[in-house]
Amino acid sequence: MPNTLQHYIDGQWVDSQGGRVIAVINPATDASAADLILGTAADVDAAVIAARRAFESFSLTSREERIALLERIIAEYQKRIPDIARAIATEMGCPISIAQTAQAGSGLGHLGQALAALKDYAFSEKIGNNRVVREAIGVVALITPWNWPMNQILAKVGPALAAGCTMILKPSEEAPSCAAIFAEIMDAAGVPPGVFNLVQGDGGGVGTALAKHPGIDMVSFTGSTRAGIMVAKNAADTVKRVAQELGGKSPNIILEGTPLDVALPGGVGGVLLNSGQSCVAPTRMLVHRSQHDEAAQKVGALFAAKKIGDPQVEGDHIGPVVSQRQWERIQSLIQTGIDEGATLVTGGLGRPEGIEHGSYVRPTVFANVTPDMTIAREEIFGPVLVLMPYDDDEAAIRIANDTPYGLGAYVAGDPAHARKFVSRLRAGAVFVNAGGLAFDMPFGGYKQSGNGREFGRFGLEEFLEVKSVIGALPEEVD
């Protein structure tokens, strides 16, 4: 197992200054998977000192030097994909097949896009007789979640390095091992001391210390909206930049008359992938009232047929949710859906039949859900789908936008018909006919789903400051 009892600061593995040890629980077995040190404000101070010292030289490196560094990181990352996959399967319950491909693979995709963006990006632009230059913002704190751990780590680390920033990573305490593996990757790739630092810990301790720290120039945070609000408040006193990718409750509009056997499987797969633990999952399915009952029957059958199994075993099944606490929250929301009068189509309370331990949730479908119901408004973050009937296009748009979130929206049906919806859906990404994420396209949300954008060139620009150079100077070579 990787080292989760020390931090990686200034190019070395170091003991915590006063941290305490907790157990990381395997959600499939309820047993301890690893021990983790929870860092302290003193650990954050040490990491900030190292990062600020390293920034003085790393921010001045050439484009070519940073390209070579990213290429070395990619080579080392590829060697460790099996280790990363095992860590994800063990700590957050993602089946090893998905952990090896989508989970670990997404990190590699982000590194590749950061490299491509760096090769092509114009850091200097002439306007008249003057010039605009874009420079690294400084020392950045990267706070990442447990549900797609390497995806979110590399969506931040890759562009931050490309920009010339130095950084401190705080991963989720519920899935810390792949971050420790990544620190080993950075060490093996020869990243200069202090450029990349890892401080393990929880949000209330290390996360708060990072957000408040005057030596941090920017916080890039991915997680719940509730936690994102606290990060922004803690960062406000030092007026640092805060970029956030937060929660979602994405609508999936099945256009009237669309063949259900064509439209439904993609939406179902998007919810069940990762046991429903994806912020952009299409968890609200809007179906025309004339097709609602048929859709409920078909979706219910697809959910009921989904296999559930051991994350360590290869196969087309889903695993548990990340923790007992998350399991209990999902159970509470399922009970609320029943109490508020939604029609339970399949699934429901308790563990799946034949499973006696672990944080496994029964794949659950509710129908006849109205916009005022709790399960239509709160992010459940589990394998739970709600079907909502609508009467016409205007009603579908109104229901789709009736949410405090705005991360993603989905439309399935005739492309010409779908096009009419795109400009009216208040979301950072609109997926048409099962279109998936693209690592070179901007990702982020409207409203309470956050601010700023990640992925590719758009992620790189989040880590840059803009400087005006006014007055005649010799021509520069970019």
- pLDDT tens, residue by residue, 165-200: 999 999 999 999 999 999 999 999 999 999 999 999
Mean pLDDT, the chain, rounded, equals: 97
* pLDDT of 56: 98
User: Domain spans of the chain?
Assistant: 7-246+445-469, 251-432
* pLDDT of 477: 46
Question: What percent of the chain shows pLDDT beyond 90?
Answer: 97
- pLDDT tens, residue by residue, 356-407: 999 999 999 999 999 999 999 999 999 999 999 999 999 999 999 999 999 9
* pLDDT of 434: 81
Q: Is 245 a catalytic residue?
A: yes
What span, in angstroms and rounded, lies between the C-alpha atoms of 263 and 22?
45
Q: What average pLDDT does range 126-148 have in this prediction?
A: 96
What span, in angstroms and rounded, lies between the C-alpha atoms of 257 and 255?
6
Q: Is 279 a catalytic residue?
A: yes
Question: Nearest CA to 364 among 390, 396, 336?
Answer: 336
For the chain, the straight-line distance linking the first and the last C-alpha, in angstroms and rounded, comes to: 43
- The CATH architecture to which 251-432 belongs is 3-Layer(aba) Sandwich (3.40)
Q: What average pLDDT does range 461-466 have in this prediction?
A: 98
Residue 248 has pLDDT above 60, yes or no: yes
What span, in angstroms and rounded, lies between the C-alpha atoms of 230 and 253?
33
Which candidate in 279, 379, 454, 462 is catalytic? 279
Residue 15 has pLDDT above 60, yes or no: yes
Of the pLDDT bands very low, low, confident and very high (cuts 50, 70, 90), residue 473 is confident
- On whether the pTM is more than 0.85, the answer is yes
Which candidate in 76, 91, 174, 245 is catalytic? 245
- The CATH architecture to which 7-246+445-469 belongs is 3-Layer(aba) Sandwich (3.40)
Q: What average pLDDT does range 127-139 have in this prediction?
A: 95
